[in-house]
Chain A
Amino acid sequence: MSNKKDLEKSIEKRKLKRSDQRILLQMIKQNISIKELENAVTSDDVLGKEVIDSKGEFLGVVESLFIDPETVEVAGIAIDKGLLKKGLIIGKSYIKNIAPHAIFLNIQPAYNLKGMIVFDREGKKMGAIREVQIHGTKNEIENIVIKSSIGELTIPSEYVKHIGDNVFLNETKENLLKLNQAS
């Protein structure tokens, strides 16, 4: 009995929506176990929330929550990036945590590199990233395609030294141009 009362008190203390509180309190009264639900969130808590990547960039809001019907597990989310922008789908393994005000990711989506400036090893500006080619469906970069003054250059990921607010390569512009011409 005292366990029930403690449970009821803990539900009342938590900042849940009134409707969710009522449902949980009803379940306690009917002796239905709510152990797994104590820290659970509803789909309403996820939909419409901001999504923030590992670099603190606000990517958009959660538009859809995908569920695997066979395992009954969350498979991922779709992010609405805004008017005229292509959406993004994120698998659950890339979700760090679902917080009350936002969803945090443990990655910086590779597609977000589009538009970043690329500098060579000497700090020479090579151009801006026009396209990011990834390995299959993983968030791993295979190549970046740069739009430069002399045309498009495809740079394999092994030449990417550092990705920050822009991208640094570990090779000089001249050598990379030679490599592009050769391939």
Chain B
Amino acid sequence: MEKTLNAKELIGISVISQEGDPLGKVAHVRINPSAMHIEGFLISRGIFREPWYVGRTYIEKISAASIILTIQPLMLLKGKRVVDAEGKVLGKIKEIARNGDANVLKSIIVKHFFKKEFSLPASAIESAGKSVLLKKSYGEKTQFRK
């Protein structure tokens, strides 16, 4: 039992994403009673924010200090700026669509002031960091799918 952790001690510890973003604190530990293993964790993100559930497959490391994930949760993309290949800011991410329940991006919904929101497929994205950079440029007259 020396190298084990007491499940009680996991409640309230920080959960950190792959890129080092503090996501919240462990609110619940979910256990599979037949397989006798941890299924996942419910992460509390504060009073006014919906908690997140993270399955065991996304956990890289559990220590007494924190839980480090193997992923950057897609929900973190919300609110980020979307920039095309010409450096033009197309808007901010209003919503994301995933493939099923997995942390795999299907598409993003982008909204800019005074303009209608539009959808872009995951394949249009070059990289996602502080902003989301797109692979190509989108001129003023580009028709976007809603």
B67 at the interface (CB under 8 A from A): yes
A-B contact count (CB 8 A): 94
Q: Are A119 and B20 in contact (CB under 8 A)?
A: yes
Decide if B38 is an interface residue (CB 8 Å cutoff).
no
CA distance A120 to B14 in the complex (A): 13
What residues of A have a CB within 8 angstroms of the CB of B65 in the complex? 120, 122-125
B66 touches A124 (CB 8 A): yes
Q: What secondary structure prevails in chain A residues at the interface with B? A: loop
Give every chain B residue within 8 A of A100 (Cβ-Cβ): 86-88, 137
Q: How far is the CA of A167 from the CA of B14 in the complex (A)?
A: 15
Residues of B within 8 A of A57 (CB): 129-131
Say yes or no: is B27 at the interface (Cβ < 8 Å to chain A): no
Binds B, one of A22-30, A48-56, A83-91: A48-56
User: Given A100-B87, A124-B65, do A52 and B21 touch, yes or no (CB 8 Å)?
Assistant: no
A residues near B124, Cβ cutoff 8 Å: none
Give the total of B residues in contact with A, Cβ under 8 Å. 32
Min CB gap B9→A, angstroms? 13
- Of residues 92 through 107 on chain A, the ones whose CB sits less than 8 Å from some CB of chain B are 99-104
Contact of B129 among A56, A102, A120, A123 (CB under 8 A): A56
Q: State the CA gap A116–B16 with chains docked (Å).
A: 14
Answer yes or no: B19 CB below 8 A from chain A CBs. yes
Residues on the A chain within 8 Å of B96, using CB: none
Contact with B83, one of A102, A162, A165 (Cβ below 8 angstroms): A102
Any chain B CB within 8 A of the CB of A166?
yes
In the complex formed, the residue of A with least CB distance to B129 is A55
Residues in B whose Cβ lies below 8 Å from that of A168: 20, 68
Q: How far is the CB of A102 from chain B (nearest CB, A)?
A: 2
- The answer to whether A104 and B87 have CB atoms under 8 Å apart is yes
Q: How many whole Å from B39's CB to the nearest CB in chain A?
A: 21
Query: Max chain A CB contacts within 10 Å: which of B17, B18, B81, B83?
Result: B83
Complex Cα spacing A103 to B128, Å: 17
Interface string of B117-146 (1 = CB under 8 A from A): 000000000011111110001000000000
- A/B interface sample: 20 pairs, CB < 8 A: A50-B87, A52-B83, A52-B131, A53-B130, A54-B127, A54-B129, A55-B129, A55-B130, A56-B133, A57-B130, A57-B131, A99-B137, A100-B137, A101-B86, A117-B20, A119-B66, A124-B63, A164-B17, A164-B21, A168-B20
Please give the residue numbers on chain B whose beta carbons come within 8 Å of chain A beta carbons, in ascending order: 14, 16-22, 61, 63-68, 72, 80-81, 83, 85-89, 127-133, 137
Across chains A and B, which 10 residue pairs bring their CB atoms closest together, nearest first?
Answer: A102-B87, A164-B19, A166-B20, A123-B66, A56-B131, A55-B129, A101-B87, A124-B65, A57-B130, A122-B63
